[in-house]
Chain A
Amino acid sequence: MTASATLPAPLRPERSFQGLILTLQRFWAEKGCVILQPYDMEVGAGTFHPATTLRALGPKPWNAAYVQPSRRPKDGRYGENPNRFQHYYQFQVILKPSPPNLQELYLESLYAIGIDPALHDLRFVEDDWESPTLGAWGLGWECWCDGMEVSQFTYFQQVAGQECAPVAGELTYGLERLAMYLQGVDNGFELNFNGLEGDQKVTYGDVFKQAEEEYSRHNFEYADTDKLFRNFAEAEKECLSLLSKGERGEGERHRQVLPAYDQCIKASHAFNLLDARGVISVTERQSYILKVRELAKACGAAWVKTEAGGA
């Protein structure tokens, strides 16, 4: 009997996709996290949300949790692969500084969504996390439940080129995969989204299948590559220009980091789409990644000169 048994049936994490999200939100809210909403831009992973990338920097404590829709244009499979989508959800938790009982808190959260450690084989398997585009790395694990990776657990060491002091702990739950496991479903599109049955049941496929088909066509075939190359160049230019306008010199706070970082996110997404369209060669690829990293690093350096960054 796990903690979720007290919830109304449709909201139980093992019954509905939304029930899983609500349970995680409630769990981390009870642990003192700010529950944020998704960032309103296209990002490749929950880590890109400024609530993680930027807030991980500087000395101020910060505890937050949120769902982030993530877009990986290259992972599109026209809705034909039951496990791989170009748009999916991550549940992201960041705790700064990392509390001494972070592993226990994480296991408690699994228990809250119905994973009983007396029945399941839970494992912390080495995973050195690195985001070349964000200029970030950390050490931690893939968290396995019965042989399946259900989360990533990372102690950030460096983000946006800045050393983390103190270190933040980051948890990322792959929501679709976790929900498939909890609901006992082999096909992601068959996930029960709202927890109701019969006519009233809404599946993940009802919500997202058409989007997967359309966006796969877009990402691989239709996206205007000339426009994307322009977008990339413009976002890169704008990011640097905003950073330079917001700079007030020695000892003064920076005034223009968040809008500049938005441009870094835009550049990154444009690159991901260009990559999916197959118009970036192997050698160019590296140079685009480096360009985005330079933007992220410039934003990180500016962030620590802001109030939230501890200046």
Chain B
Amino acid sequence: MPDLLFELFSEEIPARMQRQAAEDLKRLVTNALVDRGLTYEGAKAFATPRRLALNIVGLPVRQPDTREEKKGPRVGSPDAAVQGFLKSAGLTDIAQAKIESDPKKGEFYVAVIEKKGGATLDVLAEILPGIIRTFPWPKSMRWGAASTSSSSLRWVRPLRAIVATFGAETEEPEIVPFEVDGLKAGNVTYGHRFLAPGAITVRRFDDYVTKLEAAKVVLDADRRKDIVRHEAKNLAFAQGLEVIEDEGLLEEVAGLVEWPVVLMGSFEEAFLDVPGEVIRATIRANQKCFVLKKADGTAEAKAMGGELANRFLLISNIIAKDGGKTIIAGNERVIRARLSDAKFFWDTDRKVWKEDPEFKRLEKFKNVTFHEKLGSQWDRIERIRALAKELCKVTGADEAEVDLAARLCKADLQTEVVGEFPEVQGLMGRKYATILGLPASVAAACEEHYKPVGPTDSVPTDKVSVTVALADKLDTLVGFWAIDEKPTGSKDPYALRRAALGVIRLIVENGLAGGLRQITVFSGRLVMAQLFEVSRSRKVSLPSEAILGAIQNPAFKEFGETIERLVTLLKDEKSTVPPQSWEIDRSNDLLSFFHDRLKVMLRDQGARHDLVDAVLANGEANDDLLLVVRRVEALGKFLETEDGKSLLAGCKRAANILRAEEKKDGEGKFEAAANPALLAEASEKALHDALSIVGEAAAIALQKQDFEAAMRAMAKLRAPVDAFFEAVMVNADDPAIRQNRLALLAALRRVTRQVADFGKIAG
């Protein structure tokens, strides 16, 4: 069976787009073929900096023939209907149609449209131009003389040649006959830009790959990566070094060369004074080179990820006449210049920090906008300080250290190094704080307060770091909630989901108890004071919706009349005013955002999300995320036991009965305590007694937050519940007995709901 070889040869395609483009090409072509009845045995797509290539094997020579019957109007219909039918069926005379009959419709016309399947070659010629014209590049462009017309071909960079051949192994393949914007498909491609730039005539995929390889083009990006990995390792090993792995960089360099050649260069030892992360950042981002570490470094250096060596690996695209000497020398010059800049920044920063022990330069943050509505970076730091102080009550961190850390945690944003290499923010803060001899916890917090960044990042454990990290994230969340910039759909420009997950992990993994409602109200007041300040200073022409909403809220009037008074109240007297309803509403809204993130997190960890819902249904303590997680854990374990499964079934049965009967009698009609005098059966009495014992035991256990004990108590309900359903008919004829039995079930629901809403649990 014949194969298709398709290549789109262009000027250099951005590295980051190549892999996706190859996949898109495969998807678009194979889908279009399948849509036209052409199935295939296999397809694989490739990309280099200058080409996308697609190999589809095992295509049929022709499309299958098709036969379609088209029902027409009744025999004897008006002429207009008949003519319309002829047109739509492609017939010239009604005599060409069959007549069929149907007991309901009577006699009617049927056109039989038989379509001979087209030659695959023609189908390809029809579909490929459209795929080229509408290719989903993230960004595309026009070029050359043809671009006078706005409908000219768009491609990621100018498209220069097209190869499209189709044929079986045993024959000379045919060229797919098509043309796009004057570019005719053919069987000619080109080799490496510098090493073998000549034209190459190709037949099919096999000789295409071989001829390209001979023309110094490695078609497969994964092979180029393997070559780089392998050569890099060998070169490093020969020097007693190890490559610092960097998958992202490897992927990128594989997209920058068609013929990878790895070369090693070096830089002056003196530059190793500069923190390794900065060296790596500049060499990686600006030069796209790999850095190396000493394989025999000290234990301490190894713990820090290895001691950097004064070497780097560059990936060149050519086999140079001089073996690469000139290329290495050139790259060394650039890296030397970059590192002297970095060293200059590092030296300057250290000097500035040492000369400013009072941190006067933090005042500069007053001129740095954090967010138009949320004030300056200075304002934000002040809020973090106030919030962090409050949080010390929960974390038990040293207040003085927390305050210093909160003041300094953003200070490195003013440094030259971070200005140049934003990716080392935090880390630099830690280094500079260490140089100043500040307490280790304070230095650590300067780095760790950003953590955890995402679900796999580590969570700080140092109390100071934990406190500042919580304050930083909570202020962000509460702030954007207050100005109503919540994440919507896929849009989350301020990474609020990540911040919320960070808060959850900080709380849960550090075992911090305490409700979020109170602290978010506290934080909200700091933010509101800020919003009033901003609107008063007219930096923002109109108060935000949030402010307007709050001022118009009658509850808010209790705070005072003037904005000045409001600011004072919010900032200085906030603990004397109880939470207002609008504050609680906002906190609850934010809380449900936390709950969503918590569900996602627990689900990712393998917990059943129905258990989370069941636990959250208990509205009281659901702002204490640690307790929620513990409850979910305990409930999960309980439900794995026989007692648990059986009790769950009983509770669900009870809930269903109650739901049905409440529909008849009304919500809450069975909540009154059961009357012991009406308990006729032994099983009723047993359940009644068990409920009162278990209810009390579970309540005590829950008060002690001993969820295991609460579950053990619940387990004691299993037998009486089972026996009750075995022996008793709930809907007894006597209405008083029915009422009493339903009251028992309602009691069961109340007792179990202390732990979770069993009705929300699946199974």
Report A's interface with B, CB cutoff 8 A: 59, 83, 97-100, 103, 116-126, 128, 138-141, 145-148, 155, 157, 163-167, 169, 181, 186, 281-283
Contact = CB atoms under 8 A, between A and B. Distances in A.
Given A119-B327, A121-B317, A121-B318, 14 more contacts: A97-B144, A116-B321, A120-B326, A124-B12, A126-B14, A141-B12, A147-B287, A148-B331, A148-B334, A163-B150, A167-B144, A181-B330, A281-B367, A283-B372
Contact of B317 (A98, A123, A138): A123
Interface in B301-328: 314, 316-318, 320-322, 326-327
Nearest to A180: B333
B336 interface: yes
24 contacts: A97-B145, A118-B321, A120-B320, A121-B330, A122-B194, A123-B317, A124-B12, A125-B12, A125-B15, A126-B12, A139-B156, A141-B12, A146-B327, A148-B333, A155-B141, A155-B142, A157-B142, A167-B142, A167-B143, A169-B143, A181-B333, A186-B336, A186-B337, A283-B369
Given A119-B321, A120-B326, A123-B256, A165 B335 contact: no
B330 A145 contact: yes
B141 A157 contact: yes
Given A103-B11, A121-B320, A146 B148 contact: no
B605 interface: no
A155 B194 CA distance: 22
B129 interface: no
B251 to A, nearest CB: 14
B729 interface: no
Contact of B144 (A99, A103, A138, A140): A99
B352 interface: no
B37 interface: no
B712 interface: no
The 4 closest A-B pairs by CB, nearest first: A146-B330, A126-B14, A124-B12, A147-B331
B428 to A, nearest CB: 21
A155 B142 CA distance: 8
Contacts of A125: 12, 15, 256
A167 B147 contact: yes
B147 A166 contact: yes
B16 interface: yes
Nearest to A164: B147
A186 B49 CA distance: 31
Contacts of B15: 125-126
A70 B174 CA distance: 55
A98 B143 contact: yes
Contacts of B256: 123, 125
Contacts of A186: 333, 336-337
B149 interface: yes
Contacts of B139: 128, 139
A126 B16 contact: yes
Contact of B369 (A83, A138, A165, A282): A282
Nearest to B157: A139
B146 interface: yes
A126 B49 CA distance: 10
Nearest to A128: B139
A124 B16 CA distance: 13
A166 B141 CA distance: 12
Interface in B255-295: 256, 287-289
A215 to B, nearest CB: 21
B535 to A, nearest CB: 15
Nearest to B376: A282
B117 interface: no
A163 B330 CA distance: 39
Given A146-B326, A146-B330, A166 B194 contact: no
Nearest to B160: A100
Contacts of B160: 100
Give the most central of B327, B329, B369: most A CB within 10 Å: B327
B470 to A, nearest CB: 28
Contact of A147 (B144, B147, B320, B335): B335
Contacts of B16: 126
Contacts of B636: none
Interface string B427-457: 0000000000000000000000000000000
A139 B138 CA distance: 12
A99 B147 CA distance: 11
A100 B12 contact: no
A147 B285 CA distance: 12
Interface in B1-29: 11-12, 14-16
A148 B330 contact: yes
Give the most central of A122, A147, A157, A282: most B CB within 10 Å: A147
B368 interface: yes
Contacts of A128: 139
Contacts of A119: 320-322, 326-327
Given A98-B144, A121-B327, A139-B141, A147 B337 contact: no
B543 interface: no
A165 B320 contact: no
A167 B142 CA distance: 7
B158 interface: yes
Contacts of B158: 98, 100, 155
Contacts of A83: 337, 341
B194 A117 contact: yes
B194 A118 contact: yes
A10 B41 CA distance: 66
A97 B144 CA distance: 5
Contact of A166 (B146, B287, B331, B337): B146
Contacts of A99: 144
B25 to A, nearest CB: 19
Contacts of A140: 157
A147 B326 contact: no
B145 to A, nearest CB: 4
A216 to B, nearest CB: 16
A117 B318 contact: yes
A165 B147 contact: yes
Give the most central of B143, B157, B194: most A CB within 10 Å: B143
A147 B11 contact: no
A121 B336 CA distance: 18
B727 to A, nearest CB: 76
Nearest to B148: A166
Nearest to B539: A283
Contacts of B329: 146
A235 B683 CA distance: 95
Contacts of A97: 143-145, 147-148
B493 to A, nearest CB: 17
A299 B706 CA distance: 75
A118 B157 contact: no
B330 A120 contact: yes
B414 to A, nearest CB: 14
Given A118-B321, A119-B320, A147-B289, A59 B148 contact: yes
B141 A167 contact: yes
Contacts of A147: 287-289, 314, 330-331, 334-335
Interface in B457-480: none
Contacts of B372: 283
A295 to B, nearest CB: 24
Contacts of B314: 121, 147
Nearest to A99: B144
A98 B143 CA distance: 6
A141 B15 CA distance: 11
Contacts of B149: 165
Nearest to B319: A118
A186 B150 CA distance: 46
A116 B256 CA distance: 20
A124 B150 CA distance: 26
A272 B289 CA distance: 34
A6 B290 CA distance: 40
B281 to A, nearest CB: 16
B327 A165 contact: no
A163 B334 CA distance: 37
Contacts of A121: 314, 316-318, 320, 327, 330
